[in-house]
Amino acid sequence: MTSAIIVGAGVAGPATAMALQRVGISAEIFEGHARSDGEVGSYVTVAPNGLDALDAIGGLALARRIGFPSRRSVLMSARGRTLATLSLGRPLPDGTVGLTMKRTRLALALCAEAERRGIEVQYGRRLADASPRPDGSVQAVFEDGTTATADLLVGADGVHSVTRHIIDRQAPRGRYVGLTNFGGVTSAGLVEVEAAPEEWRFLFGRHAFFGYHLTGQRDVIWFVNAPRQQITPMERRGTSTHQWQEWLAGLFVHDRGPAAELITVGALELVADNTYDLPRVPVWRRGPMVVVGDAAHAPSPSSGQGASMSLEDAVVLAGSLRRAPSVAAGLAAYEARRRTRVERIVRYGARSSSTKTSGPMAAVVRDALLPLLLRAFGTDRSTRWMTGHRVDRGDVAAPTHR
């Protein structure tokens, strides 16, 4: 039986392990961090295309358990004008729309499901190096000095991937997109908000971008993208949560909408995160090693597609390996099937980010033009290539797990 080492237990890692298992490849996951309780960080919306890929590996039910529905986005100007209402994509045949959930809860739920299917997840094992061996296999070396050997190594280790640099010493590093990220939650009833359930409200504020969404319990989750230079580790250490909240609320005091109030009375859960993307990674594979998910093609979070692309990758990688005569041929087929699509999404994300970083003059132009542009290019039809994409179920059909 072919064996695989999966580096990283985020979204792509456990999804890839489960997809590989369905095509008869046994996988073991190595995660650098200790096992967490899943209660830190930001929320992600998994779009219908990502949920479709998750469904193909038998994981849709777990996303339904931890997520709440997100059907549309409403874009607002700083003066409170509705600029546009956009669908988050054509629902799945059973009516499932996009689902929003904490990213760490998704990762934990995927790992728990992988473990339930007999896939081992080892925490506290950080990849340091890897090298192909003369017999075609690959040996991974971890920071604790231990090693592991398999027929294939899949780097699902995120935007700052070590695997990417092991595969290609010249590989690009994540590019700072000019936006910092903060996120939090405000308990139900503390602030009156206009939003309906199942919708993201996005505010193009004068100084920063704000998004909020009601949860099933009517708490309000929210995030801020504030344009500025990168936050340094020293600044992070020297700034209290209260100071960040004061600064963030101050960015929205002159804007219409509940942003400033939600921030002031809420609890910060994602603090001082810098946003990176990867415009193009020229080399995805070398011998029996390959990258998937953010390690290969991190889009700016503004695309709303990073997790979905990771889930699609898992299915396509497994299907490509299943059909190919060798590991090397399977990895080449995977790249050929994925590269054009994911690079198009990364470009789309970079464009979305740039609408959040514009200064006051550009904002006036944006608020005037955005409704017209979105009417032409933000319709369901024009984004169908992205959220309407469906994986080939034949890639991972006929499960081989118990």
Ligand X SMILES: Cc1cc2nc3c(=O)[nH]c(=O)nc-3n(C[C@H](O)[C@H](O)[C@H](O)COP(=O)(O)OP(=O)(O)OC[C@H]3O[C@@H](n4cnc5c(N)ncnc54)[C@H](O)[C@@H]3O)c2cc1C
Residues that bind ligand X (CB under 6 A): 7-13, 30-33, 42, 44-46, 103, 126-127, 156-158, 162, 181, 293-295, 301, 304-308, 310
Q: What is the C-alpha R_g of the chain?
A: 21
- At closest approach, how far in Å is the CB of 159 from ligand X? 6
Nearer to ligand X, 103 or 322 (CB): 103
Q: Is 167 exposed, middle or buried (0-12, 13-18, 19+ CB in 10 A)?
A: buried
- At closest approach, how far in Å is the CB of 238 from ligand X? 22
Cross-strand partners of 226: 180
- At closest approach, how far in Å is the CB of 284 from ligand X? 13
Closest residue by Cα to residue 390 from 10, 84, 91:
91
Nearer to ligand X, 165 or 256 (CB): 165
- At closest approach, how far in Å is the CB of 230 from ligand X? 14
- At closest approach, how far in Å is the CB of 79 from ligand X? 26
Nearer to ligand X, 256 or 274 (CB): 274
- At closest approach, how far in Å is the CB of 359 from ligand X? 23
Q: Are 163 and 296 in contact (CB under 8 A)?
A: no
Nearer to ligand X, 78 or 224 (CB): 224
Taken as a whole, the chain contains a residue count of 402
> Edge to edge, what strands does the sheet with 152-155 contain?
120-123, 26-31, 3-7, 152-155, 289-291, 285-286
Per the listing, tokens 């070396």 go with: 141
Which residues does 189 contact at the CB level (< 8 Å), separation at least 6? 218
Question: Tell me, what DSSP letter sits at residue 394?
Answer: G
- At closest approach, how far in Å is the CB of 321 from ligand X? 18
First to last CA, the chain: 16
Nearer to ligand X, 142 or 252 (CB): 142
Nearer to ligand X, 270 or 367 (CB): 270
- At closest approach, how far in Å is the CB of 163 from ligand X? 7
The 10 Å Cβ neighbour count of residue 377 is 10
Closest residue by Cα to residue 321 from 151, 177, 194:
151
Residue 197 backbone phi and psi in degrees, to 5: -60, 160
Closest residue by Cα to residue 265 from 282, 277, 248:
248
Nearer to ligand X, 186 or 353 (CB): 353
Nearer to ligand X, 72 or 126 (CB): 126
Q: Are 21 and 56 in contact (CB under 8 A)?
A: no
Nearer to ligand X, 148 or 260 (CB): 148
- At closest approach, how far in Å is the CB of 308 from ligand X? 5
**CA geometry: angle 13, 93, 100, nearest 5 deg:** 45
The 10 Å Cβ neighbour count of residue 179 is 24
3-state secondary structure of 113: helix
Element (H, E) at 373: helix 360-377
Output b/e per residue, 240-255; b: 16+ Cβ within 10 A: eeeebbeebbebbeeb
Nearer to ligand X, 8 or 67 (CB): 8
- At closest approach, how far in Å is the CB of 45 from ligand X? 4
